Structure 1
């Protein structure tokens, strides 16, 4: 994991399971089982507080006879320690600890310090005759109950263990820089009954915290569906700085029963009361949060075609919601089935699943109400390996920095052009260097959801991007002419997918037979037509897990339209795309940002190589401005010297300055070991987070921005993201502020820094 708190990574699930059609309120339908709940393999400095925590979902004391815990070494894929759990029991709450002798609380099975290896390795739980498991045996799935396969950013190399123990799932990537102090791999529910793992401070012998990420957008946090006996309410989180919002209540057919303007204050959460006659729970309905005003959603009006920010659709006692309502508000997700407790006067629902995306009723559980407080979520009682249980969605891929791995991304897709000939189709790639780059070893695969296999596989070796980093593949009649031509009507309209791979040894489909290839995946876009979201589920789970397929909606714009990357450069991040006019080989036609925030400037910049290395100072950029100023629309640029690769990095800012006016991009208290993700030599990595105080940034940070040792940084560009990332802001007048530390006249001119002085830091 690249340290993004609960933007979660590779879940380790059991066998392939059968989908559940409707989510329910009960968490107790599975027989109790034993699971691996938490693993802490890598402690700061000496590994003296390692542990593996097991949990029995009965929540009480349970015998462990018949279970065996096996530790595997990814170097050779053999067992290095085997523990027979015969004769042991969990504690009265269902927990069982194996760990270092210095661990507190005291483990039931103590181990010498530095026993649990850091990765690439695995921990597996078996229920079979203990005699069949021994040290130095090869990894096996015989008798397997549960497993965690993990690695670090530096090592990798857990592919074989993952293939044997968690087939179809990536190894979890632990990041020691994710939290101040120590962190562990904790298991939590994702959505419905899907399990996943995330990084959090260790909690041996305690319920996993499963803390929700700080919302990057307004979300529904809690609901009280009062059953018509009393007024209900909806609690929203993340509304500050988001613009006008309206909460809309709808009946089973999507008709508006009431709409309420959201009064935005400086509070983190807002609670809205819903009069009891508008949402009884006797019949199905929905609650949706839109941008706009209540006058835009008059009572008695029909279902809006616009996409909500968040939505909750429920199945009432009288039946289910209409298909059009479900398809529009929560495409690809089942509605929430209310439990019988609604008849007793109401039910309290809290957002408890740690899925990062909105519009998913499966993340809600029945839980005690906690108005204006963090949600109090119960420990779930479902089993990840239970037959008949299925994740409603898989976990997302590792959260990568805004420009990916410094590698190519899919920038624009036009799969459905007007006319029967469809001779305006194309796929546009972009390289974040913004320069001419060879495409050696790259493959572009076009998938059909009909068979979940590629219907066309294109090698891009021998081709180059344009001087601005673009590469165009499309119909042979397309203008401008594509570098790789396809017959008209080649790119299917959906539900389908386009995926980009780095596979120098040959076609990805040949090297990875029997499944949608994931090794070497650089970027992917899964898209659909109206009403076809469910048909793309397998492609979504494999290529863009945890996300809804994109809809290239022909009704949005007159003439032609496509899917354009407008919200950042995270690979396989469908939320970055917007329906927009086609712009092949040109800057994407993205929506204009809001008016620029006034008074926000660069206040401080640091790179570790400027300071005494013994101080362990991490790279950071600090902004300062009026307190609680929303920063949406600002992009932080970092440009390297021409002789250092001239890397152009663009990081869209989110959130607001804090109560003191500060906003920190970085970790001011130190940096961990990271990969050099960009081609700029000597670059130093920093993280993105809102500075809560003078202390280091906390969980929820977004890792990966690069501050060059020589160059310019803090160029606050206010423009369309695609314009800012191409460093065209200086010509467009979009620069708000800049700090230059360079002797390159061209770079100074580019930053508009001719009126200032060069700042050349020296090691002190």
Structure 2
């Protein structure tokens, strides 16, 4: 397979910067997901400026052709009482030759097939349902029903709310959409767009009745480049990878990975040889191959050809699978966690892929569709021929959320200690993983004091919404940007204390739970000052079990600093936070993580609960190359009964001169776990060990095979040897015995007492 890597020269104007790369091969094509065509609600305009004389509802048949609407009924629901206020039987109607059908006001252009008086479609909280069954079932003033429902849209305005019952009935698991009349100048509508794979969502856009919706991918921050187009060639040296412009991203490197070996095939800096091309040859033994293209912060020297897959998370990635040749699970889960590779099938010739899904998250091949090549120009995306996956029953989380990590509100940034005595720059920033405007109805923030382990302030967020990017800010009234919910200066205590986030629709969490509330807990951060490591043990035990409180270290950065979520979307995971510059209502400014050290293994484990011997110690021993810096590694302990992480402890310090690093209650424990609270949390873990009797003295599990990482057969029970060579079985005192088991022969005789003897 020929592989051409070419950086095109930057163009003037707003065109995106382009990286070009050929993945040239024969007989490969995208196998797009297809299903039977269906009728969907594709666009609604319920609220016009001034008089509502251009309202409309647009239906679309995903075949893109004329289709009969016999058997369909359109029902309009009022959120005030949840009853139908208008019913339209579509019998005898059909879509136009492109699949569109309009119901709307008399002044509408193009002219609707069914005309409505002005101000018919209510502004919200309301809903529109599309049914496919006998029209006699549906009448005005009837209660909301899901019987025969094939599609529905529940919507409201910023000022109203109150569409929860309609959403629970018609779109279970999907909240009502907010038609924000301030989103655009002039008029706007609610338009259905593909999010990713076969999942649909809605967004506010300029009205497009009878036309393809204005589904443009979301704008990305200046610090996060994303892949927007790919060309996979069919033997021609003309492929490319196109990225969005990200001038604040710093140095970037494009990395191509082999799906069979998980190793780097090519890595090229963004700024390398502008206007020229670098030709490389890669041998591939099968056309049905798999692999990935990834964008990282860094330089090509950080990803040399032939090096293994980096555990550093990429900024964006595209993983693909050939027929019968999937990439490894390690490659998929590292680059696109929770997503599936783009499936290719056989066809002669090359093809083009464009980012067409409007999902706000990156690293998702499902947002790409086969489309016309448009390098340096906006993508030309076709209307997808997929039916929505939304009316087959309830879901545990809204379908527009990414399936990895958390799917509910998170604490994203915390600034509890600002310079000066005024403390007028404090804030708490929340974020919703959908990255969209979301209601905070029923959400509470509790500020806990470690002095008495009780909340000193309970804040209800009902009636508020996140921003259009999913952020919500509460903080001091002099904070810039202005918070949505203002607090007096010096409200948030400096620590040791905690901030906890709850979903509690029936009132404050403390009203129904004794002690430190844990029911309805969505996320929590326990934090401290210097010298107060043990001051929040009870809060840590309840809210962030097994983890040390965070230190908002004022010495890390000049000026102010904050605790920012930088490494994951899992709740009450303190290892996800870093000390970073404050960025309220903006993407967090996270430090670039160091590369994870290689060659470090768990060498020995012992728990204080394994025997009843008085000298049984609890420790964990790591082994590696002397002086290896351990930053970038996190010690994680899992509990089967709790079905989750019990401890997530980022390591500090380095391997000693003898190649050891100890965590635990032994002499010379490493810097990662020196405090008594760490010892308490880590070594209350109870494991079952049956290889030795308790009378034999202290016991540990020791690694006795150098090269079998993650293999249970590498471990042997022995006497503890922290900071020393493990006590392992020696081949010098073993014997090789061959024996065969079979049925007893006639020559065997039973001795008195039950013993056997024979020849």
TM-score range, shorter chain: 0.5 to 0.7
Residue 334 in structure 1 maps to residue 340 in structure 2: yes
Aligned residue number for residue 361 of structure 1: 365
After superposition, the Cα gap between the structure-2 partners of 1:379 and 1:323, relative to the gap in structure 1 and judged at 3 Å, is same
Structure 2 gap segments, 5+ residues each:
1-28, 402-406, 415-425, 432-444, 450-454, 463-486, 526-543, 555-562, 590-759
Match of 1:44 among 49, 71, 79: 49
Q: CA deviation at 1:505?
A: 3.2
Q: State the alpha-carbon separation in 2 of the partners of residues 51 and 482 from structure 1.
A: 53
Q: CA deviation at 1:393?
A: 7.8
After superposition, the Cα gap between the structure-2 partners of 1:469 and 1:335, relative to the gap in structure 1 and judged at 3 Å, is farther
Q: CA deviation at 1:161?
A: 0.7
- Taking the TM superposition and a 5 Å limit, the aligned residue runs for 1:657-736 are none
Q: CA deviation at 1:361?
A: 0.7
Aligned residue number for residue 604 of structure 2: none
After superposition, the Cα gap between the structure-2 partners of 1:466 and 1:79, relative to the gap in structure 1 and judged at 3 Å, is closer
Aligned residue number for residue 375 of structure 2: 371
Aligned residue number for residue 345 of structure 1: 349
Q: State the alpha-carbon separation in 2 of the partners of residues 29 and 35 from structure 1.
A: 15
Residue 136 in structure 1 maps to residue 141 in structure 2: yes
State the superposition RMSD in angstroms: 4.7
Aligned residue number for residue 239 of structure 1: 246
Residue 290 in structure 1 maps to residue 292 in structure 2: no
Q: State the alpha-carbon separation in 1 of the partners of residues 567 and 345 from structure 2.
A: 37
Q: State the alpha-carbon separation in 1 of the partners of residues 90 and 553 from structure 2.
A: 52
Contact 1:27 1:380 (8 Å CA) reproduced: no
Contact 1:564 1:577 (8 Å CA) reproduced: no
The C-alpha deviation readout for 1:146-171, integer Å capped at 9, x for no partner, is 00000011000101111111112101
Aligned residue number for residue 268 of structure 2: 260
Contact 1:219 1:358 (8 Å CA) reproduced: yes
Q: State the alpha-carbon separation in 1 of the partners of residues 510 and 73 from structure 2.
A: 37
Residue 577 in structure 1 maps to residue 584 in structure 2: no
- Taking the TM superposition and a 5 Å limit, the aligned residue runs for 1:4-19 are none
Larger RCO (alpha carbons 8 Å, 6+ apart): 1
Contact 2:193 2:200 (8 Å CA) reproduced: yes
Q: CA deviation at 1:86?
A: 0.3
Q: State the alpha-carbon separation in 2 of the partners of residues 289 and 159 from structure 1.
A: 41
SS of 1:38's equivalent in the other structure is strand
Larger Rg: 2
Q: State the alpha-carbon separation in 1 of the partners of residues 511 and 100 from structure 2.
A: 43
TM norm structure 1: 0.53
Contact 1:59 1:94 (8 Å CA) reproduced: yes
Match of 1:180 among 161, 179, 185: 185
Match of 2:199 among 186, 191, 194: 194
Aligned residue number for residue 620 of structure 1: none
Q: CA deviation at 1:338?
A: 1.4
Aligned residue number for residue 233 of structure 2: 226
After superposition, the Cα gap between the structure-2 partners of 1:524 and 1:398, relative to the gap in structure 1 and judged at 3 Å, is closer
TM norm structure 2: 0.54
Q: State the alpha-carbon separation in 2 of the partners of residues 561 and 272 from structure 1.
A: 51
After superposition, the Cα gap between the structure-2 partners of 1:324 and 1:82, relative to the gap in structure 1 and judged at 3 Å, is same
After superposition, the Cα gap between the structure-2 partners of 1:466 and 1:123, relative to the gap in structure 1 and judged at 3 Å, is closer
Q: CA deviation at 1:299?
A: 0.3
Contact 2:429 2:585 (8 Å CA) reproduced: no
Aligned residue number for residue 114 of structure 2: 109
The C-alpha deviation readout for 1:380-403, integer Å capped at 9, x for no partner, is 111114899999982259999999
Q: State the alpha-carbon separation in 1 of the partners of residues 87 and 78 from structure 2.
A: 12
- Taking the TM superposition and a 5 Å limit, the aligned residue runs for 1:45-444 are 45-216=50-221, 217-227=224-234, 229-252=236-259, 253-263=261-271, 275=280, 277=282, 282-341=288-347, 344-385=348-389, 394-396=399-401, 438-439=457-458
SS of 2:84's equivalent in the other structure is strand
SS of 1:371's equivalent in the other structure is coil
Q: State the alpha-carbon separation in 1 of the partners of residues 371 and 118 from structure 2.
A: 39
After superposition, the Cα gap between the structure-2 partners of 1:174 and 1:564, relative to the gap in structure 1 and judged at 3 Å, is farther
The C-alpha deviation readout for 1:401-424, integer Å capped at 9, x for no partner, is 9999x996579xxxxxxxxxxxxx
SS of 1:160's equivalent in the other structure is helix
Q: State the alpha-carbon separation in 1 of the partners of residues 298 and 77 from structure 2.
A: 54
Aligned residue number for residue 619 of structure 1: none
After superposition, the Cα gap between the structure-2 partners of 1:579 and 1:386, relative to the gap in structure 1 and judged at 3 Å, is closer
Contact 1:311 1:359 (8 Å CA) reproduced: yes
After superposition, the Cα gap between the structure-2 partners of 1:651 and 1:505, relative to the gap in structure 1 and judged at 3 Å, is closer
Number of aligned positions between the proteins: 464
Q: State the alpha-carbon separation in 1 of the partners of residues 329 and 587 from structure 2.
A: 37
SS of 1:338's equivalent in the other structure is strand
Q: CA deviation at 1:346?
A: 1.9
Q: CA deviation at 1:260?
A: 0.8
The C-alpha deviation readout for 1:309-348, integer Å capped at 9, x for no partner, is 000111023500011111111111111111323xx23221
After superposition, the Cα gap between the structure-2 partners of 1:285 and 1:506, relative to the gap in structure 1 and judged at 3 Å, is same
- Taking the TM superposition and a 5 Å limit, the aligned residue runs for 1:511-526 are 524=523
Match of 1:505 among 498, 507, 516: 507
